[in-house]
Structures are given as C-alpha cells and as structure tokens.
Chain A
Amino acid sequence: MAGMLKRLWNSAPVAAVRAFAAHPLVQRSFVVFTVAVFVYAAWVGLTQAPPDREMGDVQRIMYAHVPMVQMMLLAGTILFVCSVLYLFRASWRTDALAEASAELALVYGAIGTTLGAIWGRPTWGVYWAWDPRLTTVAILLVALAGYLALRRFVDDAERRAVWASVTAIIIAADVPIIYFSVKWWKSLHQVQSNPRTVDPQMVHALRWNITAFFLVFIVFLVVRYRIALAARLREVTVPDAQPRAREAVAS
C-alpha cells in the first residue's frame, strides 16, 4: 500500500502537477484567486441572497458561521488522522501538518462559535445555550488549547510529536462521550444548515461561501504547515548543517 502510494506520488503525471503547484507564480495566483472568490462569495451572501423570512438580515451570519464550523471539523479530522499516522510511522511532515491543523481548528472553531453566539442573541434570545453541540464544541476548543499548550511546553521535538499525537487521540476519543453526556445533561440548536436543508435561493450563496472558506483554509493550512515543518527541521538539525538541511531531510 505504502509502496504503491509512493510510486504514484513519484509517477510522471503526479510529479508534473507537483512541480506546477510548487511554482511561486502558480502559488501566488492561487492566493489571488482565493481572495477573489472570497470577495465574490461575501458579495453574494450579503446582497444577492434573500433575507430570511423570520430572522431577516441577521440570518446572513449563516454564510460565515456554517463554513467556519465545517472547516473546524475538517481541521479536526486532519489532526486526528495525522496523529494516528504519526504513531505508526514517525515523520516531521505529519507532525507539522498536525500542528497546522490543530491551530486552524482552534481559530475556526473560536470564530465560528463567536459568530454563532452573535446569531443566537437576536434569534434565540441568548448568546449561549447549553445545547449538546454547542457545549461539545466549547469543550473541544478548551481541549485543543491544552493540546497547543503541550506543544509549547515540551522542548524535545520527538517527544513533543509523540505526546501531542497521544493527546489528540485522547481528545478525539472523547467527542462522542462528551456529546452524549451533555445531551443527557440537559436542547435549542436548529438542524445544521447545509445546502440540503436551506432554501434553494440561499443554497447558491452558501455553496459559494463554503468554497471560499475552503480555499482560504487550504492557503492557511499550507502556509502554516510550511512554517511548522521549517521550524521542526531547524530544531532537529545541527546548526552547521542548517543551510542545506532542508534538502537533506526532504530527499
């Protein structure tokens, strides 16, 4: 399996795509394209989509809230997969990707939750409700903050990577239990908004916004991943070898 993937990764067409994607000009154009899509999506969401019949213009928060929370879930999934993979096969790349996705999950989760609270005040009447999903996300955000603190507090890079993976797996295992415990503990959240549950006229705007936030997510993830990988390589290589270390480890 691993051998097959490696052969596929090094095959001529994939290598060509990789070389294309690695070109600085292509990467810069991708960022410009992302910004353009984001601006268009925001315009569609703010002006083109119809206001909600009951909630009015406040409902437009959905176009940012839903994509934000979805990106948080995506980042969390990447974090979990990377952590499991790292324990099977140690690699600085997996570790760097785990760190990048953990930070993004925390940022997207925090903004998504805040947007939800701002949306909740005029529609539910309160900023916060002890709803199972809300509470689960809040607990996970605190757990993620602990995960990131652990990464800051361990100096040895290899131990940090193992311990961070273990911690991410422990947190991920808790998700269903947290959800059930809070559900039994005390519910107000509307059914998740996704293109299938909202009005067809809003679907267009929601799809554009999900795409835009996804593109922004990719840009952030790649940039943060590179910084993390560079920091890791700098940490583990001898100072003398540093200028050429990147090529040495990458090959």
Chain B
Amino acid sequence: MRHPGLLASTWVLFRKDLLVEWRSRSRINALVFFSLATLLLFSFALGPDTALLRRNAGGYLWLALLLSSVLALGESFRVERENAALEGLRLVPVDARAIFLSKGLANAVLLVGLGILLVPVLVALLDVRLVLPWPRLLVLTVLGCLAIAAPGTLYGAIASHARARDVLLPLLLFPILIPALVAAAKGTALVFEGDPMDQLNSWVALLASFDILYWGLGVVLFPRVVEE
C-alpha cells in the first residue's frame, strides 16, 4: 500500500478538523459569545471614555482572540483525547507532522474567522475607524492567528495529557506569545490610527518571523510530543 504524502494527509485531516468543528457548532457559538463578552468587559473595566477605548481597540481585539484561543485549543485536543482518537490516527499510520499542520491550520482558520467577526463589533462598539486599507488588517489577523496557533497546538497536545491542563495551557502559552501579541496589537493599532512613521511593515516582518520559527519548530518537535 502506498502511503499518502505529507500534504495530502494534512489536507484530509484539516478537512476532518473543520468538519468536526462544524458539526458541533455549539462550541463555535460559545467561542464567539465568549470573545464578545471579553470585548464588553474591557470596555466596562476602563469606563466610558470613548477616546481611550478607541485608542486601545487593537489591544482589546488581540486579548479577546488570545483568551478565546486558549478555549479553542483546549477543546481541539479534548476532542482527540475522547475515544483515543489521536492514538487511532497515529496507528493508521498518519505522519505526526501532518497532524500538527492540520490541527494548527484548523485552529488558525477558526481564530481568523473569530477575528473577522470581532472587527465590525469593534467598529460599532468602540467607534473604531480603519484608516489604512482593510487588506492590511486581514494580513495582520492571518499572521497573528498563525502565530497563536503554532505554539498553541504544540502546547495544547502537551497540556491535554497533563493534570490541571486548563491552568497549564495558558501558563505555558502566554509568556511565549508576548512578542506576537505586541506585534499584532501594535500593527492593528496602526491600521486603526494611521501609520505616519511607516512602522507597520516592521511589525508584520516580526510577526512573520515568529510564524516561520514556530511553525518550523512545531513540525520538528510535534512528532516527539505525541510519540508513545
């Protein structure tokens, strides 16, 4: 029997992950409302100062995405742990790198979708205006969500087998993600506020290097994480 290649198995698994996500839409719904609630909470914690809220909108967007990502990542591996689905996949046998790539991409797609949903809310709720063209915000969102998804998938796999996994995942993930959070939030703020000093490109470059580094490390290290 000929084994399918890395890309082919990644594609199949990626579709499987999205299908599982689609068939249990209640989880996506919960995620959407969780992130909306987070956005509202930020506004209430800081008081009704419209100018201040508008200035911080980029940071709120990424904090809401980051907090939701922990739930999404935890869920994505809880599904695999039930019925030992991950072990089943490994026995097929599927290349462990394909599992990492598909899970990571599925999580990234989920987060990008969430980000695209949150921006109109920000516009309505905090009176944010997009000063730069929207494709730039889309690039930032995609790169930022890829940055959360790569180490998130790696740590999600680790934490799902540990005790106190709900505490462990953010504890491991948040410090690592600080540079990505800084770059994404600063870049988003520039899209909202205008970029007179032409700084956006350096933040995008930082985010892109973070992505390349962690997607590379994930592909190399993930097989060791899930081995028996």
A residues near B, CB below 8 A?
A: 87, 139-140, 142-143, 145-147, 149-150, 153-155, 159, 162-163, 166-167, 169-171, 173-174, 177-178, 180-182, 184-185
Contact = CB atoms under 8 A, between A and B. Distances in A.
B168 A150 contact: yes
Interface string B162-180: 1111011001101110110
Majority secondary structure of chain A interface residues (helix, strand, loop or mixed): helix
Given A163-B158, A173-B213, A181 B179 contact: yes
B221 A169 contact: yes
Contact of A153 (B168, B202, B210, B224): B168
Interface residues of B, number: 33
Interface of B: 151, 154-155, 158, 161-165, 167-168, 171-172, 174-176, 178-179, 182-183, 186, 202-203, 206, 209-210, 213-214, 217, 221, 224-225, 227
Contacts of A159: 161
Given A166-B221, A173-B217, A146 B172 contact: yes
6 contacts: A146-B175, A153-B164, A153-B168, A163-B158, A180-B179, A182-B179
B225 A153 contact: no
| Majority-rule SS of B interface residues | helix
A47 to B, nearest CB: 40
A132 to B, nearest CB: 11
A184 to B, nearest CB: 7
A169 to B, nearest CB: 7
Nearest to A184: B202
Contacts of B171: 145-146, 149
B168 A149 contact: yes
A185 B59 CA distance: 13
